[in-house]
Copies of this chain bind each other. A is one copy, B any other.
Amino acid sequence: MNIGIASEKSGLPSKTIRYYEDIGLLSPARTGNGYRDYSMADVHRLRFLQRSRSLGFSVDECRELLSLYHDKDRESADVKAIAEAKLVEIDRKIAELVGLRDLLHHLVEYCQGDERPDCPIIDELSGEGMVL
């Protein structure tokens, strides 16, 4: 199957699929004319990558998950550890963003948003604010 079809089936752009091949995440067969030829197993692998990436795993983590996926003797604890680390990281990111939002929200509320030049947001950024 050509890359266009693999792209449709996996939900990944062709560009991304070639990129994943470049960095060694898969190596499809080639037909006589030099076209890449994807098997169903390749597509499966691509979908795995698409799902993992959309769950926030980095490409390197995906690489690790893929090797665990193919390791029939894997221990589920190994997979769980990766997922839990990711969870902690996501929680940290959320907390950081919430803090950011609260601060920004506070500033926006205090800003009149009219035609006058007084602006607590600018004051804050310039170091003359009362919040930070």
Q: Which residues of B have CB within 8 Å of A44?
A: 126-127
A80 CB to nearest chain B CB (Å): 4
Q: Which residues of B have CB within 8 Å of A125?
A: 48, 51-52, 55, 65, 69
In the complex, the count of this chain's copies comes to 2
Interface residues of A, dominant DSSP? helix
Q: Which of A71-87 contact B (CB under 8 A)?
A: 72-77, 79-81, 83-84, 86-87
Partner of A51, one of B105, B113, B118, B127: B127
Chain A residues engaging chain B, CB cutoff 8 angstroms? 44, 47-48, 51-52, 55-56, 65, 68-69, 72-77, 79-81, 83-84, 86-87, 90-91, 93-94, 97-98, 100-101, 103-105, 107-108, 111-119, 121-122, 124-127, 132
